[in-house]
Amino acid sequence: MSPWAVTGIGCAVLLVGSIVGIGACGVQMSNAMKEELKKPIDKEQVLAELGDTPLYPKIQFDENSTKIGRAGMKIGGRFVPAQRTAIAGFRTEDAPALVYGWYDEQLLKAGYRLEDGRDNKRGGHSYRKDHDMVVVRVNPDKGEANSLMVMRFYNIKK
């Protein structure tokens, strides 16, 4: 058999193996998200996990947003170098600028600093204090109250 044929067969085997591996990884992530979405939410526990993170006064807890956020964190959280994470979803009728302004005031007063400027590349505002980070993201929803996600990352490793 010619060296070109052996190389071609080897490349084909690697390609097929890669496709199967990527598919299996996708199925595993999908199953992990489905499992997380099925779990019941204990509102008091979710709020307690946020610790001393201030919560905007004009909000309603949103169980579905919280479940989706937690499911996403289950997958994406593997890439966050934090010892512990917390996430909660809410709804508010207030404009994003008003919500961000409130968080800027409250978190800066508590000793956090605003990272990456306003409306950073990840969306929302990120605040850092020592080894902890708070991320606040407001997403306007057509026909519904705006979605507000509050995330807390404890003891981020540098």
Instruction: Give the global pTM.
Output: 0.73
CB-based burial label for 134 (10 Å; 0-12, 13-18, 19+):
buried
Handedness of CA 67, 71, 77, 83 (dihedral sign): positive
Q: Map out the domains of the chain as residue ranges.
A: 1-38, 42-156
Sheet of 113-115: strands edge to edge? Answer: 60-61, 82-92, 146-156, 132-139, 125-129, 113-115
CATH of domain 42-156: 3.30.310.80
Instruction: Give 73-131 pLDDT, tens digit per residue.
Output: 776 666 666 778 899 999 999 999 999 999 999 999 999 999 865 554 456 899 999 98
